[in-house]
Amino acid sequence: MRRYLLRKLGIYALTFVAAVTVDWSIPHLMPGNPVLTLMGRIQIQDPKVAQHVYDNYMRSFNLDLPLWKQYWYFWVSLFHGDLGTSILQFPTPVSSIIVHAIPYTLGLLVPSILLSWYVGNKVGALAARRKVLDNTALPVGYVLTATPYMWLAILLVWIFAVTLGLFPVGLAYSPTAGRGWSTAFLLDVAHHWVLPFLSLFLVGCGGWAIGMRNMIIYELESDYAHYLESLGAPRRLVRKYAFRNAMLPQISGLALSLGAVIAGALVTEIVFSYPGLGYQIYRAITNEDYFVIQGIFLFIIVGVLVANFIVDIVYVVVDPRTRIGMQGGQA
């Protein structure tokens, strides 16, 4: 087990290095002096601010230093938690922007991932049993999983917020609601949270339901299922085993789907002007706030790697084959 986890850690470390390198090298791939090019695009009016930004850039890029030193300094500042300063929201440091945006993004991601996984799997398992449910659930699942996240968000906003007025159109909380931990505020936050959450949840459900349904059918056709049935085991027992075994690839699937769900969360936030990482990235892109883009990118990478590692640990605990296989069990 240790070897397996260490191996995974190795891959993640490698990935992290690769990602950071890519992140660092992209500005350098642009022709000409990257700083001047960037400055030219931004066109800051205030000369004092312009000078500040220029100095910041020069410092960050260390263009006077040899390439490898620039690379090295990039890593150094990374480990100091210094991700640069935002241009648009000058002088707010990027790390501060990220820290303030995280709770909102996580507040959308975590519940929607977990709940859509749970509900989707349950529905998929049920669909594998009953033909009637299968005929309705499956097409719905395929349609949902083919729906672009932002379009579902748009649909939900238009129908439930704009037309029916049941939910707010956007933002995380009403500007008029007093902040602080009062019940009113919390209810307000929850009210604003429902539609974006629903958007992520529904698309996710579709995918998980389909996957689970197929996995269960696959498991029910397996040798051990047939053997149990030929020994007179009741359907209940066979289904229980099939369900448990079908869950395993669904767990590792969680890690795989992370990238797509994050992308979905980003665009959903944009539709709802929900002040999470997605919204910040959108603003950064529109305003060419490169440090913010780079910073959020790195943050997402780290988050995904950590999440992957957690899933790997869970998987090893749950599936005896990985545990034992790693100890060199007999084949």
Q: Under DSSP, is residue 93 helix (H, G, I), strand (E, B) or coil?
A: strand
Alpha carbon 241 to its chain centroid, in Å, reads 31
Give the residue with the Cβ less far from another protein, 84 or 249.
249
DSSP state of 169: S
Closest by CA position to 16, among listed 310, 316, 300: 300
Task: Collect all residues with Cβ–Cβ distance below 8 Å to 257 and sequence separation of at least 6.
Answer: 204, 207
Give the residue with the Cβ less far from another protein, 85 or 112.
112
**Residue whose tokens read 């910040």:** 280
Tell me how far, at minimum, the Cβ of 99 lies from another protein, in Å: 18
Give the residue with the Cβ less far from another protein, 1 or 185.
1
Tell me how far, at minimum, the Cβ of 42 lies from another protein, in Å: 12
Tell me how far, at minimum, the Cβ of 192 lies from another protein, in Å: 16
Give the residue with the Cβ less far from another protein, 3 or 182.
3
DSSP state of 85: B
Q: Which residues pair with 93 in a beta bridge?
A: 85
Give the residue with the Cβ less far from another protein, 144 or 172.
144
Tell me how far, at minimum, the Cβ of 146 lies from another protein, in Å: 4
Instruction: Give dist(CA 292, CA 61) in Å, integer.
Output: 15
Amino acid identity for residue 60 in this structure:
S
Tell me how far, at minimum, the Cβ of 325 lies from another protein, in Å: 7
